[in-house]
Structure 1
Amino acid sequence: MQEFYIECITWDSTFNLESEITLYVRHSGAAFRICYDPRILAVSPSVLDQHHESYRILHKDDPDGGFCEVAERLRKPFEELMTQMAPPMESTRHLHSYLYPLWFILEARVAESSSHVQPHFKVALSRQEFIRPGDYMNSKFLQAHLSPLLNSKLNKYSSRQVQVLAQTSHLVPSRVLVDGTVYFFKPWVSGRVHGYCELQSYRKILADTEESPPLLTDVRICRLRGLIIDNDDDVLQHYPLDSDEEDYPGTRLVGLLLTYIENKGTLNDLAPWSDCTNEDRLRWSRQIHHSVKCLHNAGVVWGDAKPENVLVDMKGDAWLIDFGGSYTPGWVDEDKQDTVEGDRQGVQRIDDWLAKWSRRPVTRIKRSDEEGREGAV
């Protein structure tokens, strides 16, 4: 697990050497905003020159052109200060602490004639001063997709009830525990069109369980198991809101609880290697065909059909994940996205891809994710 994770970096998109550079960093349950202001750095010509060079590299926005190295160089001077300010790790972590972390604003300063940045703590933010995750439930657009799920028997929880068991390399909770059951946590991203498509697919999958007979009972697919909904009165109980904020307080959809699939990796991870047999590839092909056929019979489209959206569980069986729709070039054509025809095209191309690896033995190499990925999507 990474100790520090840079969530994003911002700078002026129009070329401007006097642009500020701001890093957003996660560390040990806290969130930090690190500001590099050239007006402050100007007291040291050498540090200002370094800042201008960093901006030039970032402005090119080329990951292979030194972007990552610059990001790490800008973060590095603040490591000790962030470690000092971050709260002690809880023995039992809950999703609430990830979604609503302590926020600290840090600033790069420099002594005259010095060539080293001096990290400085500027201010701590109260929780109402940053954008809260999720979508408000009174949003008409969200309501149209969410209402059927809210009226179903689907369990609803607050983030305080969700215990975090594991997280991704981006420090985002992945495997979580609720009421004694392990799930995969998927954050709800506000305004993400694919998310609304995903809700519709999960609604249809849930509706199938009420049919007689259900068409998807034994199909290996990721399913929606619960919703995580937070109330501002609870989340911000120690931080009074400004009275002119008409939209608050309210309740927000902040995440989904999905089937947790303990797995070896995706089809894309596993199929190319020589220790994967042709019998494995043939079995996966048959399982994918069966699952997609059952989905179509139930009126559900898989959507973004590709090897990365197939997980292989610890028994070696293939599971379909990610019902957010859209398409990936090379697997599904744009004009066929989110259609039965697009699914069939994607499945056929997966078959062709599996057949290619069956004909081409590859030497096994050590992968960084040898222990297997955690999570469903």
Structure 2
Amino acid sequence: MQNFYIKSVVWDLTFNLESDITLEIVYGGAAFRICYNARTLAASPYALEQHHELYRILYKDDPDGGFWQAVERLRKPFEELMTQMAPNPPIELTRYLHSYLYPPWFILEAGVAESGRVQPYFKAALSRQEFGRPGEYITNNFLQPYLSPLLNSKLNKYSSRQVQVLAQTPQLVPSRVLVDGTVYFFKPWISGQVHGYHELQSYRKILADTEASPPLLADARICRLYGLIIDNDDDVLQHYPLDNGEEGHSGTRLVGLLLTYIENRGTLKDLAPWSDDCTNEDRLRWSGQIHYSVEYLHNAGVIWGDAKPQNVLIDMEGDAWLIDFGGSYTPGWVDEDKQETVEGDRQGVQRIDAWLTKWSRQPVTRIKRSGEGEGRRQGGSVEGGKEEGL
């Protein structure tokens, strides 16, 4: 039985009992915007009183104070209508990526029935002008300097219509995907995020080194970029009508990245503290592999950036992979004035060693570089060590 996933709940942050309340919900291959308007509900004293009660709970914003119960009470009257309107319940995991990125959007509104209770209504379908398009236009002046070298490289480019979704996160974001017979991890592209541009720059350097002879990074266990997902608006937004015959802006957008997919046991943060999950030999090996991969990154002119245990993934064979090349830093692992530098990476690695030592019966000091002399492994990495790239 598919769940209704609540994407967002919006209300006035300045206390106002007459505030509208808006829910955005994903269900059955469609997205719904549910609008509660206090002026409309004023036609029924009972409905308005319920609205005021639910607003007070939302305003407190306390998960332990009935917040999610209030959200459920707001959603419940629309359940039957959403079930009727959803084009494809339940979601089949064999669908293609474009149907996840561009679901039909429906606007629903709370009216008042003769009984005085809330009556759900269908108001409209979202038009192309209103639809929030994922990704970022490739002509964007901020994106261009980072994306152009990749567009001009041998890197594969795909449409979301070519990408088959095999699995998704609990938030209904596609994660494991299939393209041309190969399984990858799908990472959505978020417009305007500085760390995304930094990440593209890192992947460009890694790609350039990988294509060099001999590549410096051949044996490093690091995240790699294998493809770009680029969509044309006119192709993927065909089911979104234009308002009043007006011409809509269309173009080509970067909507996601394809990273190598790898089965994993969790992050270093998840595993290292627990004796049941690892041994001291494991911790020593992981430290050595981290040192080895970071050194090879630096030799190729790439900065790891946000060095910390959460950004080390442990695969099913017990090997450590570096993930997340978006830059920035995490206090306690890398100092702010050393972020995105070689010095900052080394500081982060030293602090990871110290952290591993705390969980070991022997110091993590002189580390054998266990990656040396080993053959190149197939597989890859994830972003964030959990859902992204899992």
**How far 1:185 moved relative to its partner?**
0.4
State yes or no: 1:203 paired with 2:204. Answer: yes
Contact 1:263 1:374 (C-alpha < 8 Å) held by counterparts = no
**How far 1:87 moved relative to its partner?**
1.1
**How far 1:117 moved relative to its partner?**
3.1
Aligned to 1:121: 122
Aligned to 2:195: 194
For residues 92 and 300 of structure 1, do their structure 2 counterparts lie closer, same or farther at Cα, with a shift above 3 Å needed? same
Aligned to 2:31: 31
Percent of aligned positions that are identical: 79
Q: Distance in 1 between matches of 2:2 and 2:341?
A: 39
For residues 273 and 69 of structure 1, do their structure 2 counterparts lie closer, same or farther at Cα, with a shift above 3 Å needed? farther
Structure 2 portions without partners, runs of 5+: 363-384
1:1-377 equivalent positions in 2, closer than 5 A:
3-88=3-88, 89-90=91-92, 92-111=94-113, 114=116, 116-239=117-240, 241=242, 248-275=249-276, 276-358=278-360, 375-376=388-389
Q: Distance in 1 between matches of 2:66 and 2:286?
A: 40
Name the stretch that deviates more: 266-275 or 235-244.
Answer: 235-244
**How far 1:322 moved relative to its partner?**
1.1
**How far 1:125 moved relative to its partner?**
2.1
Structure 1 portions without partners, runs of 5+: 361-371
Q: Distance in 1 between matches of 2:260 and 2:222?
A: 8
Contact 1:184 1:259 (C-alpha < 8 Å) held by counterparts = yes
Contact 2:134 2:255 (C-alpha < 8 Å) held by counterparts = yes
* Aligned-partner residue type, residue 376 of structure 1: G
For residues 270 and 238 of structure 1, do their structure 2 counterparts lie closer, same or farther at Cα, with a shift above 3 Å needed? same
Q: Distance in 1 between matches of 2:180 and 2:361?
A: 47
Name the stretch that deviates more: 338-347 or 129-138.
Answer: 338-347
For residues 164 and 57 of structure 1, do their structure 2 counterparts lie closer, same or farther at Cα, with a shift above 3 Å needed? same
Q: Distance in 2 between matches of 1:142 and 1:235?
A: 21
Aligned-partner SS, 1:212: coil
Contact 2:269 2:309 (C-alpha < 8 Å) held by counterparts = yes
Q: Distance in 1 between matches of 2:194 and 2:287?
A: 30
* Aligned-partner residue type, residue 336 of structure 2: E
Q: Distance in 2 between matches of 1:333 and 1:277?
A: 30
Contact 1:95 1:173 (C-alpha < 8 Å) held by counterparts = yes
**How far 1:172 moved relative to its partner?**
0.3
Q: Distance in 2 between matches of 1:165 and 1:10?
A: 32
What TM-score results when the alignment is normalised by the length of structure 2? 0.86
Q: Distance in 1 between matches of 2:73 and 2:356?
A: 42
Aligned-partner SS, 2:223: coil
Name the stretch that deviates more: 330-339 or 67-76.
Answer: 67-76
For residues 15 and 91 of structure 1, do their structure 2 counterparts lie closer, same or farther at Cα, with a shift above 3 Å needed? closer
For residues 297 and 15 of structure 1, do their structure 2 counterparts lie closer, same or farther at Cα, with a shift above 3 Å needed? same
**How far 1:259 moved relative to its partner?**
1.1
**How far 1:35 moved relative to its partner?**
0.8
Contact 1:102 1:127 (C-alpha < 8 Å) held by counterparts = no
Deviations 1:13-59 (A, max 9, x none): 33322111111111121101011111122233343233223323333
Supply the RMSD in Å over aligned alpha carbons.
2.3
**How far 1:119 moved relative to its partner?**
2.5
Name the stretch that deviates more: 231-240 or 13-22.
Answer: 231-240
For residues 20 and 317 of structure 1, do their structure 2 counterparts lie closer, same or farther at Cα, with a shift above 3 Å needed? same
